[in-house]
Amino acid sequence: MGLIHIYCGDGKGKTTSATGLAVRSAGAGMKVFFARLMKGNYSSELRILEYIPEITVRSCDRNYGFSFNMTEKDKSEITQCHNNMLREAFSSGYDVIVLDEFFSAYNCRLLDVSLALSLIKNKNPDTELILTGRNPAPEFLELADYISEIACIRHPYSSGIKARMGIEY
């Protein structure tokens, strides 16, 4: 029985939670696909995930930055990258699929929204699916079996402390 998880909210920990579940699933012998949408090809968790043979990690070949700073060419390239990751995730017989920062890509239309919704609605019923990001669209809230909201009560960024390797990325 594959269920749908949503890790959402404005707090820190959505990707960390998804990474933890990916590691747990791999530890149980499950085949995991971890798609990093809206993110480049570097983050500290990638260094360790690459050592786990049961986990396949995909991200775009470069960091495109924030959507509001992207050129039309950047938007076209990242959309193509995201669509390719979605197709690979749902066509390769994975037990667990993590679509990290899915809601950002979906809400910014930096993926084919009809393709994404179709793939998710018609996923293999045995595949566990984890979607992360802020502001999940109502259609996904209706489909979800787990919804965990991570709220920001306090974050050092508001005090001027920049993101730290190994903690925020």
Sketch out the chain's domains with CATH numbers. Answer: 4-159 (3.40.50.300)
Q: What is the pLDDT along the chain (169 residues), one digit of tens a residue?
A: 899 999 999 999 999 999 999 999 999 999 999 999 998 777 888 888 989 999 999 999 888 888 888 889 999 999 999 999 999 999 989 999 999 999 999 999 999 999 999 999 999 999 999 999 999 999 999 999 999 999 999 988 888 999 888 888 7
Contact present, 18 and 98 (Cβ < 8 Å): yes
End-to-end distance of the chain based on CA atoms, in angstroms?
32
Structure tokens belonging to residue 97: 């699929």
How many whole angstroms separate alpha carbon 75 and alpha carbon 52? 31
Residues of 67-89 as b/e, b for ≥16 C-beta within 10 angstroms? beebeeeeeebbbebbbebbeeb
Residue 52 pLDDT: 97
Phi, psi of 100 (to 5 degrees): -75, 135
Q: For residue 147, what pLDDT is reported?
A: 98
Give the other-Cβ count within 10 Å of 111's Cβ: 24
Q: How far is CA 57 from CA 36, 73, 82, 154, in A?
A: 7, 25, 13, 30
Backbone phi, psi, residue 69, to 5°: -100, -5
